[in-house]
Amino acid sequence: MELLYKDDYFIAVNKPSGFHVHPHENVQHRVSRDKICLYHARRMMKQHVYPVHRLDAATSGVLLFALSSQAASQICKLFTERATHKTYQAVVRGYVKDEGQIDLPLELDSTGDLVDAKTTYKRLGTIEFPVAVGKKFPTARYSWVEVVPHTGRYHQIRRHFNRISHPLLGDAVHGDSHHNRFFRNDVGIEGLCLRALRLEFTHPWSGERVTIEAPTCEKWNKIQNLFTPSVLGASPLKSL
């Protein structure tokens, strides 16, 4: 787990996919301590740290921890007041518009009540494979998108894109199992195609603008190359 930023108040790490932020709230759902970012961050800093926001276990990217309870209170306030700007990248099924807004209410995971939820996106690239995945279309189309969630609802990005019939690749809960399998077995890209690329906010103590960005990795290099026109002459399909 790579350290991306550190000052006297908080740290930012690059969370790997498959790691939980903290122990599961349900004691019956046990997760190995080796797969919990909170414990890795404590060992890294040799002190107690405080989680201030969440990323899904399958999502990689920028994750903050506060270094004191007082700092945690201030940073949590930024998220509560929507004073942070979060940028994600994802791969979705089908061709989305060049840019768009998803303004669909979502159910709270705690009570089921509908609450407002807003997500905006812009398309970074598209690709089409001459393969029928499922029975509906003769080819398989995908979009690489940059996504900004303006609210922080549970699985917001994943649920919103599923609601507009463009589910994320590798999403076992809200996605398309046929396309997930195709991307994993034939394209060679495993897991959820979602990462927290960038986090921006005004520092509560210094007043300076802070921008923290996740570095690239093998998986996202492969995704970027997949959607780069210059490399599309050679088929990225493992079976072709």
How far, rounded to the nearest angstrom, does the alpha carbon of residue 208 sit from its chain's CA centroid? 25
Question: What is the C-alpha separation between 73 and 50, in angstroms, rounded?
Answer: 10
Please indicate, yes or no, whether residues 44 and 133 belong to a single structural domain of this protein.
no
Let me know whether 147 and 222 are in one domain: yes
Kindly state whether residues 76 and 91 are assigned to the same domain.
no
Same domain, 107 and 210: yes
Q: What is the CATH number of the domain that holds 49?
A: 3.30.2350.10
Do both 62 and 96 map to the same domain? Answer: no
Q: What would the two tokens of residue 181 be? A: 């399998």
* Catalytic residue numbers, as ranges: 56
- Closest by CA position to 197, among listed 74, 103, 59: 59
Q: Given a cut of 90, is residue 114 above it in pLDDT?
A: yes
pLDDT at 239: 42
Same domain, 89 and 55: no
Phi-psi region of 223 (alpha: psi -120 to 50; beta: other; left: phi over 0): alpha
Based on the fold, state whether residues 8 and 107 are members of the same structural domain.
no
**DSSP 8-class letter at 102:** E
For residues 92 and 76, membership in a common domain is answered with no
pLDDT for position 11: 97
pLDDT tens sequence across 54-107: 999 999 999 999 999 999 999 999 999 999 999 999 999 999 999 999 999 999
Residues 89 and 193 in one domain: yes
In the predicted model, what is the mean pLDDT of residues 17-35? 82
In a domain, 237, yes or no: no
Same domain for 115 and 186? yes
**pTM of the predicted model over 0.85:** yes
**Domains contained in the chain, number:** 2
Confidence at residue 31, expressed as pLDDT on a 0 to 100 scale: 81
Q: What is the DSSP letter of 111?
A: T
Same domain for 99 and 179? yes
Beta bridge partners of 213: 198
Give the domain range for residue 15.
Answer: 1-81
pLDDT tens digits along 126-176: 999 999 997 788 999 999 999 999 998 999 999 999 999 999 999 999 999
